[in-house]
Chains A and B, each alone.
Chain A
């Protein structure tokens, strides 16, 4: 295995129609690393995950580059035929809603098998016989903690609970031992106790494969629990990046600071007001020029009208804020 990153994104920008939705994203993920991408609705986090798999809607103008380990071409500009070989093999994705991710007319075992068979030509696994595939399907369903996997493989998605469906989706995503797993709000539709199990399953699944994980969510405690590193998005830009322990305890960007304050229901005394960020997330295309957060920021000055530079040479660690938190004024 090469020492280079599994995913290397440089200067990724996406425009749809007149609106610029993602601006100059640069980040990379190494093998075995678990990275969280957090942001509120409209921040561009889901669009980013779709861009990584070349799943953007028609008419999206994409610039920059997205390179995956083991894939000779750039994802940006790659044709559908080339990407079909990559998806589910080198990189796979788990979506929020398992019912729409699964085919309702196919038995779940057949759906797992399909992923294995479609990418069977890669030469990573010599087994091609039906029996071998069936065995592998049962093993995978067993690994994601489904009871009686052999019988469950014959069930249709509607016969399973939400948590079980999401387990099947994870089994499909991990079937070909991808280098990178992208999960977009994988547990948002699930109950707390089921969420705990599915999160644990995803983390154990990527750990066992030494795969990289990009976990996209709005839920800060989920990222803190499952990831080592975090990227904070707002208005289609990465505004802060760094180790979870650092960003969540000593945020630098004022948006991260506000987000942490607003979500911290644990340490705020009961019945006392929580700290808030004024206003709400503007709709796509309505973010201000310069610093995307300046219209809601209490520290904004005229300097913020120009896009603040990234604070360090390392795109994986730093912030884009002129008046960062945690420094004496």
Chain B
């Protein structure tokens, strides 16, 4: 099996604005030498707390940012150090769904134009044919469980869950092979979260996509992904098959993270808040 995504020794440093005239500010090491591969059709999860570098890593994979050093291959092609015009193949092969659908959907565009935008931008299979494009938009809206009438409306006329469906439809428009999702359900209500998670899993299955899902929520990754990487302070501290990592964590940070997440099962067995911080049995 060839790898869909290869990440090799990737480092990303940022510089904060200087606070002193005399000294440069120290660099922030957001990602410190990370390596892993994601196989074709695999569902890969990245978990970590805020500041762990998980979103930076996702931006690097999406070629929305460049690593300080190291290389990233998408379907065998190196994306590091390329100019934007040389990244066309990434833009059509790889699509991203972001956390906040309100922030990632243009409020002044109708849903039809939002979903069609990647098609227009990339000169797709419809070759500029209006009817073919319209048909593709309706097909996409249907695939994410929205009616055709949704195409005429604006993002603000939808609920959070429906907006995330629109983001997913847009991401699928150029027929990508890789879908990146950055906290796709953290802004959603519990009852809607399940719907959107189901939709993502179903589409990834149906279309045979490679999925990289970034989340702070361990249970979301556990439910969705085959393999998981645990990030802490810019490094991957543990990586492995999901059930293995969750059942028998090897790194102390993973253990701490798993214990700290409130669980319905443990709570009903009598686990109180002391257990979360490691005070209980």
Interface residues, chain A, CB within 8 Å of chain B?
40-41, 191-197, 199-200, 202-204, 218-222, 224-226, 244-245, 248-249, 258-259, 261-268, 270-271, 273-277, 280-281
Residue among B160, B191, B197 with the most chain A CB within 10 A? B191
Known: A193-B257, A203-B273, A273-B201. A224 touches B191 (CB 8 A): no
Interface check B265, CB cutoff 8 A: yes
Partner of B194, one of A192, A244, A274: A274
Given A244-B268, A273-B201: 10 more A-B contacts, CB < 8 Å: A40-B190, A192-B261, A193-B256, A193-B257, A197-B277, A224-B264, A224-B268, A226-B272, A248-B268, A265-B220
* Chain B residues in 8 Å Cβ range of A196: 259-262, 273, 276-277
Are B201 and A262 closer than 8 Å at their CB atoms? no
Are B276 and A199 closer than 8 Å at their CB atoms? yes
Interface check B146, CB cutoff 8 A: no
Partner of A280, one of B162, B224, B242, B277: B162
Known: A192-B218, A224-B268, A281-B191. A273 touches B276 (CB 8 A): no
* Chain B residues in 8 Å Cβ range of A40: 189-191
Interface check B198, CB cutoff 8 A: yes
Are B268 and A245 closer than 8 Å at their CB atoms? yes
Q: How far apart sit A202 and B195, CA to CA, in the bound complex (Å)?
A: 33
Are B219 and A265 closer than 8 Å at their CB atoms? yes
Q: How far apart sit A95 and B160, CA to CA, in the bound complex (Å)?
A: 23
* Chain B residues in 8 Å Cβ range of A274: 194, 197-198, 223
A91 CB to closest chain B CB (Å) equals 21
Considering only residues 53-69 of chain B, those with a C-beta below 8 Å from chain A are: none
Are A192 and B264 closer than 8 Å at their CB atoms? no
Known: A191-B50, A280-B192. A273 touches B202 (CB 8 A): yes
Known: A192-B49, A263-B194, A274-B194. A221 touches B189 (CB 8 A): no
Are B191 and A259 closer than 8 Å at their CB atoms? yes
Interface check B22, CB cutoff 8 A: no
Interface check B142, CB cutoff 8 A: no
Known: A192-B257, A224-B262, A225-B273. A270 touches B192 (CB 8 A): no
Q: How far apart sit A276 and B268, CA to CA, in the bound complex (Å)?
A: 22
Task: Count A/B pairs, Cβ under 8 Å.
Answer: 137
Interface residues, chain B, CB within 8 Å of chain A?
43, 49-50, 159-162, 189-195, 197-198, 201-202, 205, 216, 218-220, 222-226, 242-243, 256-257, 259-268, 271-277, 279
Q: How far apart sit A199 and B277, CA to CA, in the bound complex (Å)?
A: 9
Are A224 and B267 closer than 8 Å at their CB atoms? yes
Are B49 and A270 closer than 8 Å at their CB atoms? no
* Chain B residues in 8 Å Cβ range of A194: 49
Q: How far apart sit A191 and B186, CA to CA, in the bound complex (Å)?
A: 13
Are A270 and B223 closer than 8 Å at their CB atoms? yes
Closest B residue, CB atoms, query A296: B191
Q: How far apart sit A245 and B265, CA to CA, in the bound complex (Å)?
A: 11
Closest 3 pairs between A and B when the two form their complex, measured CB to CB: A224-B267, A196-B276, A196-B260
Q: How far apart sit A266 and B189, CA to CA, in the bound complex (Å)?
A: 17
Are A273 and B198 closer than 8 Å at their CB atoms? yes
Residue among B159, B216, B273 with the most chain A CB within 10 A? B273
* Chain A residues in 8 Å Cβ range of B275: 225
Partner of B265, one of A191, A261, A266: A266
Are B271 and A225 closer than 8 Å at their CB atoms? yes
* Chain A residues in 8 Å Cβ range of B262: 195-196, 199, 219, 221-222, 224-225
Q: How far apart sit A317 and B259, CA to CA, in the bound complex (Å)?
A: 31
* Chain A residues in 8 Å Cβ range of B224: 270-271
Closest B residue, CB atoms, query A219: B262
Closest B residue, CB atoms, query A193: B260
Partner of B190, one of A220, A249, A266: A220
Known: A192-B260, A196-B277, A224-B262. A203 touches B192 (CB 8 A): no
* Chain B residues in 8 Å Cβ range of A248: 264, 267-268
Are B264 and A264 closer than 8 Å at their CB atoms? yes
Known: A193-B257, A219-B262. A200 touches B274 (CB 8 A): yes
Q: How far apart sit A262 and B216, CA to CA, in the bound complex (Å)?
A: 18
Closest A residue, CB atoms, query B192: A280
A214 CB to closest chain B CB (Å) equals 16
Q: How far apart sit A166 and B266, CA to CA, in the bound complex (Å)?
A: 25
Known: A221-B267, A224-B268. A276 touches B194 (CB 8 A): yes
Residue among A263, A265, A281 with the most chain B CB within 10 A? A265
* Chain A residues in 8 Å Cβ range of B190: 40, 218, 220, 259, 262-263
A34 CB to closest chain B CB (Å) equals 10
B100 CB to closest chain A CB (Å) equals 14
* Chain B residues in 8 Å Cβ range of A268: 223
Known: A191-B216, A266-B264, A280-B162. A225 touches B50 (CB 8 A): no
Q: How far apart sit A275 and B226, CA to CA, in the bound complex (Å)?
A: 20
* Chain A residues in 8 Å Cβ range of B160: 280
Residue among B223, B225, B262 with the most chain A CB within 10 A? B262
Are B263 and A266 closer than 8 Å at their CB atoms? yes
